[in-house]
Each structure stands twice: as structure tokens, then as C-alpha cells.
């Protein structure tokens, strides 16, 4: 298994969103330099000063989460990164850092959900894929440990558990010697699309971990609200390929048209306007069972050629651990 950096080695933020004013960029860079020097209290003062004027600034909020992590305040860092995913569901890095924090607490199910969201928003995000593999391995280790507690004579389980321990144990020494890698903030570019951020990988255990108490499943309402926001973000970004990944293979197309014709229609309607902004307001979740749910909300659609407000319901179905849209309904 590849080397994994400790949670404390999360590196500082690069350019996250659009261009920032020069003064604002200087303040963030100064805070980042202080962070790299280990002057966390001073760095936090700089970040708080930026957020006093721009409370929604993604760069400052991400850096605040990094500082809180380094200060050992995992609960505050989790709150910061969670709020960042609520406001910017299209960014994968906050989800990845949430997974690192959850994993450090042994909450692997929550870590898995966060990494799945990171991959959904950015399918080519290699770090999240690797971290998800490590989470699966750790969850498997827990299951094998429990199986051996119930049947110590099970040689097949003993072999599987030994293989997983060998995979992690082989990197234990290199993991302990890993030093923090701190990257300076990138200078604002004339045009800066959302940039990827180098973030931490999950920590490798130095020894087999005890089997923790069962972890409660994440709130389905929260998961559905986040995936609905991610769907709207893909539409707003005019990324029709990513937009289409939210729909189930058995999606009920309007008017009974073929899936191919519907996809071609959606591509044309998403590509044609110069700009699109889709907002999801007053969303309400109704869960039928573990695999079926619906989200009803007020949809505000603004484009270069049209503005409209309407009630909408997305009917979701869970397949292979992912929520996908099975049907769209207009009106209450």
C-alpha cells in the first residue's frame, strides 16, 4: 500500500476559486506563510481578519480548517470543512479532508461517505480514490477481527487479516518519518478556474486497531441534500457530462423519449446559454427506505436568455452506494 501522510501534514491551500483582490491575496499568502512556519495562532488571526470582511471566502475558510487541524481541534475543523462542503459542494478537497479527520477518530463509515462525495464531484481525484481504498481495507480489518473473536479457529480469516496487516505494516516506518509538506498559495491568475489542492492522505496504523463500537450511519437527509446541491452545481457549471452522471440508467425521461434523445436535448440546452445559475432553496427530504427517497425544493434558474422559479422534486434511488436520479417532477 502506498505511503500515507499523517492528518497533521495537510498542506496549505492553493488558488481555490476566482480571482481575489491584491490585498486579500496578500493577507491569505501571509497567513499561509505563518501556517507553514508553525505559527498557527498568528496565522489564525490573519485568517479571521480576512473572514471578517469576506465571511464566505473559500480560501480563508479552507486554511482555517487546516489550522484548526494542526492545533488539534478536530471538532472545529470538521465543522469548518462541513460548512465549506455545504456552500461549495462542487469542490472535492474539503470532502477529502473531512474523511481524514473522520478516519483519525475511527469513524470509517463517515470517512467513506465523504470520499465518495469527493469522487462524485471530481471523478479523476486520485488522492480520494486511494484514500477510499485504504478505508475499505481498514473496515475489512475490523470485520476480520470481529470474525476471529467469534471463531478463533477460522484459518481463512486469519490469513486475510494477516495480509491486510502486512499491507499497512510495511509502510509504518516511512509513515512515522513523513514530514509536513507545506505549499505556498498560488499567485492570483488573470483567469483562475477552481484549482485542485494537494491534501493529506489517510494515516497508516502502526498496529492493529481494536474493534470500536458500531458507528451510526450518516444522516440520509444530509447526504441527499449534498448530492442535490452537487447536481445543481454541475448544471450551473454547464458541465453536461458530469450533470448526466447524476441520472440512473432507468431514469424516467419526459414524454417517453429515448434516453439518447433526452441526453442530446439536455446537452443542447446546457451548452446553448452563455451562463447558467441554478439555486436549490427550501429543500425538504422524504426517505421511503434505505434505497428510495425524494427531495422537493424551490428551483431558481437564471440564464443569459431566461429566468424562472419553480417547484421541483427529484426522486432518488441508491445503487451501488450512490444516490442517482430516477425521476424529475415539476410542481409540488
pLDDT tens track for 127-137? 888 888 888 87
For residues 231 and 224, give the distance between their C-alpha atoms in angstroms, rounded to a whole number.
11
Does residue 176 carry a pLDDT above 50? no
**Residue 211 in domain:** no
Residues 15, 93 within the same domain: yes
Q: Is 324 exposed, middle or buried (0-12, 13-18, 19+ CB in 10 A)?
A: middle
Last residue of a domain, one of 122, 148, 176: 176
Instruction: Please tell me what DSSP assigns to residue 275.
Output: -
Helix orientation angle between 220-236 and 74-87, rounded to the nearest 10 degrees: 50
Does residue 265 carry a pLDDT above 50? yes
CATH code for the domain in which residue 78 is found: 1.25.40.10
Tell me if the pTM is above 0.85: no
Residues 172, 115 within the same domain: yes
- The count of domains in the chain is 2
So what's the pLDDT on residue 104?
Answer: 87
pLDDT bin (cut points 50, 70, 90) of residue 282 is very high
Residues 164, 278 within the same domain: no
For residues 30 and 19, give the distance between their C-alpha atoms in angstroms, rounded to a whole number.
17
For residues 194 and 197, give the distance between their C-alpha atoms in angstroms, rounded to a whole number.
9
pLDDT bin (cut points 50, 70, 90) of residue 113 is very high
193: three-class secondary structure by DSSP? coil
% of the chain with per-residue pLDDT over 90: 39
Residues 63, 120 within the same domain: yes
CATH code for the domain in which residue 233 is found: 3.10.450.50
Outline where the chain has alpha helix (H). 22-36, 40-53, 58-70, 74-87, 93-104, 108-121, 126-150, 155-169, 172-176, 220-236, 240-244, 259-271
Does residue 185 carry a pLDDT above 50? no
For residues 326 and 257, give the distance between their C-alpha atoms in angstroms, rounded to a whole number.
15
Single out the residue of 51, 88, 43, 84 nearest to residue 67, CA to CA: 43
**Residue 298 in domain:** yes
% of the chain with per-residue pLDDT over 70: 74
- Domain hosting residue 225, numbered range: 220-330
- Largest interatomic CA distance in the chain: 70
**Residue 213 in domain:** no
Residues 14, 95 within the same domain: yes
Residues linked to residue 279 through DSSP beta bridges, in sequence order: 300
CB atoms within 10 A of CB 47: 28
Most trustworthy range by pLDDT among 132-136, 182-186, 250-254: 250-254
Q: Per-residue pLDDT averaged across 201-220, rounded?
A: 57
Quick: pLDDT tens for 47-103: 899 899 999 888 889 989 899 999 999 999 999 999 999 999 888 888 999 889 988
So what's the pLDDT on residue 212?
Answer: 58
pLDDT bin (cut points 50, 70, 90) of residue 169 is low
Residues 232, 306 within the same domain: yes
So what's the pLDDT on residue 191?
Answer: 30
Residues 78, 154 within the same domain: yes
pLDDT bin (cut points 50, 70, 90) of residue 305 is confident
Strand 307-319: give its sheet, edge to edge.
276-289, 292-303, 307-319, 322-330
For residues 299 and 232, give the distance between their C-alpha atoms in angstroms, rounded to a whole number.
9
Amino acid at each position: 500500500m502506498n505511503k500515507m501522510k499523517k492528518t497533521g501534514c495537510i498542506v496549505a491551500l492553493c488558488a481555490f476559486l476566482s480571482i481575489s483582490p491584491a490585498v486579500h491575496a496578500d493577507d491569505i499568502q501571509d497567513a499561509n506563510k505563518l501556517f507553514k512556519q508553525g505559527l498557527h495562532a498568528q496565522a489564525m488571526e490573519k485568517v479571521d481578519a480576512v473572514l471578517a470582511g469576506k465571511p464566505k471566502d473559500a480560501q480563508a475558510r479552507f486554511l482555517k480548517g487546516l489550522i484548526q487541524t494542526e492545533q488539534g481541534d478536530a471538532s472545529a475543523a470538521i465543522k469548518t470543512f462541513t460548512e465549506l462542503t455545504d456552500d461549495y459542494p462542487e469542490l472535492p478537497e474539503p470532502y477529502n479532508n473531512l474523511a481524514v479527520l473522520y478516519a483519525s477518530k475511527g469513524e470509517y463509515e463517515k470517512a467513506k461517505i465523504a470520499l465518495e462525495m469527493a469522487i462524485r464531484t471530481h471523478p479523476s481525484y486520485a488522492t480520494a480514490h486511494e484514500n477510499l481504498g485504504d478505508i475499505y481495507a481498514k473496515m475489512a480489518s475490523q470485520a476480520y477481527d470481529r470474525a476471529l473473536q467469534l471463531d478463533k479457529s477460522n484459518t481463512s480469516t486469519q490469513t486475510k487479516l494477516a495480509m491486510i496487516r502486512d499491507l499497512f505494516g510495511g509502510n509504518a516506518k516511512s509513515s512515522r518519518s513523513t514530514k509536513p509538506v507545506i505549499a505556498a498559495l498560488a499567485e492570483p491568475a488573470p483567469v483562475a478556474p477552481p484549482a485542485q489542492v494537494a491534501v493529506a492522505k489517510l494515516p497508516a496504523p502502526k498496529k492493529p486497531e481494536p474493534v470500536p463500537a458500531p458507528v451510526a450511519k450518516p444522516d440520509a437527509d444530509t447526504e441527499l441534500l449534498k448530492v442535490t446541491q452537487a447536481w445543481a452545481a454541475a448544471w450551473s457549471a454547464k458541465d453536461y457530462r458530469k450533470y448526466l452522471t447524476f441520472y440512473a440508467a432507468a431514469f424516467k425521461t419526459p414524454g417517453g423519449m429515448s434516453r439518447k434523445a433526452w441526453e442530446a436535448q439536455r446537452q443542447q440546452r446546457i451548452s446553448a446559454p452563455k451562463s447558467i445559475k441554478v439555486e436549490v432553496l427550501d429543500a425538504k427530504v422524504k426517505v421511503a427506505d434505505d434505497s428510495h427517497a425524494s427531495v422537493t425544493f424551490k428551483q431558481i434558474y437564471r440564464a443569459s436568455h431566461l429566468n424562472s422559479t419553480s417547484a421541483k422534486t427529484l426522486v432518488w434511488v441508491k445503487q451501488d452506494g450512490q444516490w442517482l436520479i430516477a425521476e424529475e417532477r415539476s410542481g409540488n
